[in-house]
Amino acid sequence: MDFDKAESRAWMDQVLSWQIEDEYYDDIKRAICTQYEGEIDKGFFLRTSDLVSALNSINVLGLKSLLFGNEDVIGYSATCFTGDLALFGDISPQETSFSVSPISPIVVAGEVHTCVTEPPVTGLVWTITALGGDNAIGTIDSISGKYTAPAAAQITGPMTRVRVTATNALNGYKSSGLISVVKTSLNVNPLVQVATAGLDLKLTLTAGSVKGQPKDIVWDIEDDATGAIITSNLDGTCTYQAGPPVTGKYSWVDTVVASYGNDSSSCAVVVFNGQQNLSITIDADSVRSEKAVESVTLVALNNGGSPIPGVKWALLTGSGSVNENTGVFTVNPQGSYRYAVVTGTLVIPGIITLLGHIILPLPLLTIDRAVELLNG
């Protein structure tokens, strides 16, 4: 009795649809399995094949890239699903003869890091490769593996990444690692926050050091005349609380500094003297479609969404400049800050003074450019 695929499926559906009384079920099942065992297996196989063939292919690139820095490091032997997906295999001692260690070191700009393997292997050839962007990647001694990171001035942005590869000249086997080169050994996050004077509201600031332990990071404030209070914590964080309102001032900036040894890094807390009531945004018509945005126009909107005339603009902290009357903000490509805090003030004589602000992340990007960068 031979069935093609369609006939087998129809036959199986018919058998499964039968309503059989319990007292006869075992006898009928035994008889069917004895006579048509091969066809039942075929039908089951066809259905299983249909299920498996409908699945998308399994891409293990992420597994190889993230967990294993070597070539052909694992040979897969079985896959189990559904619900969760499990991949089983063996790691061959011959394939994993060495690996770069550590696989993802952090190096400060201008400093030297000697690359090694685990276990140690002699006669390796060391090379480095850029991972996108226009940043310099430094240099490496092809024999010793001594890597010299590029200078901070050669790095655009807070950091860059470099792939380092060790190649066995005898058999061609390779192992790679990822070096992250940072401009400074100590970084603070976030770079800028906003607080209101006199409110019992604490902000949390975080610092991380490539060289030191979190408990050894010391926090301070450049000018304590504003009455702000900071408290250092053993986990490398600190809590900040703004001081009381200051008569005659609408806003000011508290600079908070984290230090470890001779290294230091700072962030800004912008303090406003009271609640803000101006809604400030970017005029969409001022943003062209070019990838690098050089300037934008800022506007204050009323409740109906229309621009409010007569607003005076000022750069409170950060890089760039703003026209006091037009609200046109211009980027400074050479600026040292990665943000700009711009305030808008509207004075209605004898009645009220309205205030608002906007934090601009730098560099300014269009949505299209941001999507392009995210997609690589």
The yes-or-no verdict on residue 1 having pLDDT over 80 is: no
Q: What does the pLDDT read at residue 134?
A: 74
The yes-or-no verdict on residue 58 having pLDDT over 80 is: no
Q: What does the pLDDT read at residue 66?
A: 46
Mean pLDDT of 239-243: 95
**Alpha carbons 330 and 323: distance in angstroms, whole number:** 8
182-212, pLDDT tens digit by residue?
A: 988 998 999 999 999 999 899 999 998 888 8
Q: What does the pLDDT read at residue 62?
A: 45
Q: What does the pLDDT read at residue 127?
A: 96
Residue scoring higher pLDDT (353 or 134): 353
pLDDT cut 70: percent of the chain above it: 70
**pTM score > 0.85 for this model?**
no
The yes-or-no verdict on residue 72 having pLDDT over 60 is: no
Q: What does the pLDDT read at residue 38?
A: 58
Residue 106, both tokens? 């952090």
The yes-or-no verdict on residue 23 having pLDDT over 60 is: no
Q: What does the pLDDT read at residue 235?
A: 92
254-307, pLDDT tens digit by residue?
A: 999 999 988 899 999 999 988 788 999 998 887 765 656 788 999 999 887 889
Q: What does the pLDDT read at residue 61?
A: 45
Q: Show the domains of the chain with their CATH numbers.
A: 5-53 (no CATH), 61-90 (no CATH), 99-182 (2.60.40.10), 186-272 (2.60.40.60), 279-374 (2.60.40)
HEC-encoded secondary structure of the chain: CCCCHHHHHHHHHHHHHCCCCHHHHHHHHHHHHHHHHHHHHHHHHHHHHHHHHCCCCCCCHHHHHHHCCECCCCEEEEEECCCCCEEEEECCCCCCCCEEECCCCEEECCCEEECEEECCCCCEEEEEEECCCCCCCCEECCCCCEEECCCHHHCCCCEEEEEEEEEECCCCCEEEEEEEEECCCEEEECCEEEEECCCCCEEEEEEEECCCCHHHCEEEECCHHHCCEEEECCCCEEEEECCCCCCCCCEEEEEEEEEECCEEEEEEEEEECCCCCCEEEECHHHCCCCCECCEEEEEEECCCCCECCCCEEEEEEECCEECCCCCEEECCCCCCCCEEEEEEEEEECCCEEEEEEEEEECCCECHHHHHHHHCC
The yes-or-no verdict on residue 315 having pLDDT over 90 is: yes
Q: What does the pLDDT read at residue 5?
A: 52
